[in-house]
Amino acid sequence: MQKNLVVPGRKKPYVMAHRGNQALCPENTIASFQQAIHDGADILETDLQISADGVFMCIHDSTLDRTTNASGLVSDYPLEKLKTFSAWNHRQGFEKETIPTLEELAAILPPDVALALELKTDAFLNEDIANQLIQALQTYGVLNRCLVISFSKARVLTIHRLAPDIPAGLITMSGLRPDPDMQIVGPFWPLLFLNPFYMKRAKRQEQIVCPLDPAPEPRLWFYQRIKVDAVLTDNPQITCKKIRKYENN
């Protein structure tokens, strides 16, 4: 993928599936990722926590309480125990879903779909942990189509400094200018309305722009007009259809 975030065979704006398709399936499950792939998503986004025995787990919260039938910190349990919990997120018919490992997600990733990893813990500031992640991505064969994102600039830069080919992205709730140290910027969507020059500055800095807007449909016309590079969505099925409709008009 490299710095310019090109997904071979895919047209911009890329559709980034936020925790898979969490509108139709429990978030961050194999079911949600497979649904997003079926929907036509260009990038699968997930969150990384780390188990007690050092396994990279695809789960948003640091605790198990909200999305599983268990409680406590993800980091307190080894993989074997985590795999006994259901990641159904109170959705009937998904009781057999478990918390996926990064390896399991990589195994179902089509060769023309990229992977966005949100680093959810300061453990990624540790260079040993960061190197373990980089090595895992290399082993799984997805290093060249992977990017790291976070609300923490320090976390993504730790990875990017060790592996410059992995683009680093910063998610921001404030600030009217894109951070020049980042390859990817994810501004909270109102910022693009408040500063009409945001996109111009980002393009001048050769940055990829993906607004923080998991329900983007009412603003797709605007994103198409200003030519964002990617759109985030909780429901890639609807977003993909609407983007195709705009393209055909």
Residue range of the domain that includes 237: 14-248
pLDDT of residue 218: 97
Tokens 């929907």, located at residue: 39
pLDDT of residue 209: 98
Q: Look at the alpha carbons of 18, 20, 24, 29 in this order and tell me if their dihedral is positive or negative.
A: negative
Pairing type for strands 43-50 and 56-58 reads antiparallel
Tokens, residue 129: 């942990």
Phi, psi of 169 (to 5 degrees): -125, 140
User: Is 56 among the domain residues?
Assistant: yes
Number of domains the chain is built from: 1
Cα 235 to chain centroid, rounded? 14
Cross-strand partners of 208: 184
pLDDT tens for each residue of 99-134: 999 999 999 999 999 999 999 999 999 999 999 999
pLDDT of residue 7: 79
* CB neighbour list of residue 8: distance below 8 Å, 6 or more residues apart: 112
User: Is 23 among the domain residues?
Assistant: yes
User: Is 4 among the domain residues?
Assistant: no
Cα 153 to chain centroid, rounded? 15
CATH code assigned at 42: 3.20.20.190
Do 9 and 112 form a contact (C-beta atoms < 8 A)? yes
Nearest to 7 by CA among 134, 148, 135, 116: 116
pLDDT of residue 55: 99
pLDDT of 15 > 80? The answer is yes
pLDDT of residue 2: 42
Do 125 and 54 form a contact (C-beta atoms < 8 A)? no
User: Is 142 among the domain residues?
Assistant: yes
220 residue type, one letter = L
CA dihedral 124, 203, 172, 54 (to 10 degrees): -20
User: Is 8 among the domain residues?
Assistant: no
pLDDT tens for each residue of 52-110: 999 999 999 999 999 999 999 999 999 999 999 999 999 999 999 999 999 999 999 99
pLDDT tens for each residue of 222-249: 999 999 999 999 999 999 999 988 777 7
pLDDT tens for each residue of 165-178: 999 999 999 999 99
* CB neighbour list of residue 37: distance below 8 Å, 6 or more residues apart: 44, 108, 110, 113
Q: Among all residues, which ones are annotated catalytic?
A: 18, 60
Question: How far is residue 179 from each of residues 106, 113, 176, 201, 206, measured CA to CA in Å?
Answer: 29, 26, 9, 10, 11
The CB density around residue 168, as the number of other CB atoms within 10 Å, is 25
User: Is 34 among the domain residues?
Assistant: yes
pLDDT of residue 6: 65
pLDDT of residue 119: 99
Tokens, residue 100: 């996926």
pLDDT of 42 > 90? The answer is yes
User: Is 1 among the domain residues?
Assistant: no
pLDDT of residue 1: 39
User: Is 214 among the domain residues?
Assistant: yes
Pairing type for strands 114-119 and 43-50 reads parallel
